[in-house]
Chain A
């Protein structure tokens, strides 16, 4: 399926929840959807006969200064089409439903986005830090992050 067909059928099925279809992006086109319906959309994309998007290639957090974005790179291994979905939430209430139940691989990706950006994935079975130590403070990939002077008695800056 082409990007246009996918976006049209998503709009038909989910109407209001599809916030923006950016088909004329300079490189990769993408679709912005409402955070609260990401789970339903993911389930639809996985199970629909025409979509069959069976793999979540990548899930990334992005800090857009004021809002946090979560970007899903999806691909179908059977039909060989790709899709980019995005959700956007305010930094002070960064809650996105987890799609771990749809694609298991999201588990660690979501933990990573939580670890580095502080996106709270609601419904995630095990939302812990994954890369940084469990007692680390702050979310280092946010643009306004400041490196701590000391961690556990060890000096951090050079």
Chain B
């Protein structure tokens, strides 16, 4: 911060487009919904704990869907859970993003064939922005997925309506 302070010591005017300012603010504070589904949730926990420290990217877990920007679907979505996920998604304020973490929520994962109670991919109930492969994805992979999402946010425009 020291350098930056010096930079702005005298004249603190910054010229940028409104879009990039807003996007910068949004992408650096992607609040995450604090809920885990299965094994992947443990890796998500590891990613937000000491060694990987996801909070440095502004990803702070919030327990209620009404305060979050991104939902990380971390694990197997079962048929019983699917309607709840849909409801949680509906409760999130726009603009909202979904990260699908792990093979299970991408496509059913190891349970794709005989899982009579497993939803084969969370994208059958809610739209997904970024898919992270792996069973479970390493925390690094989760962070990479997050950066992909940040990239997506960076290129959005508030003026144009996005899907």
Contacts and interface: CB of A to CB of B under 8 A. Distances in A.
A/B touching: CB–CB < 8 A: yes
Interface of A: 131-133, 140, 145, 147-148, 151-152, 154-158
Interface of B: 79-80, 82-83, 107-108, 112-113, 116-117, 119-120, 124-125
Main secondary structure of the interface of A (DSSP, over half): loop
A111 B82 CA distance: 23
Nearest to B125: A154
Q: Which secondary structure characterizes the binding site on chain B?
A: loop
B116 A152 contact: no
B79 A152 contact: yes
A156 B116 contact: yes
Contacts of A147: 116
A153 to B, nearest CB: 10
Contact of B119 (A131, A133, A140, A154): A154
B49 to A, nearest CB: 31
Contacts of A158: 107-108, 112-113, 120
A156 B79 contact: yes
6 contacts: A131-B117, A133-B79, A152-B79, A152-B83, A154-B79, A154-B125
Central interface residue in B80, B108, B116, B119, by most chain A CB within 10 Å? B116
Contacts of B107: 158
A133, A145, A148, A158 — which one has the most chain B CB atoms within 10 A of its CB? A158
A148 B107 CA distance: 18
A158 B117 CA distance: 11
A154 B123 CA distance: 11
B80 A132 contact: yes
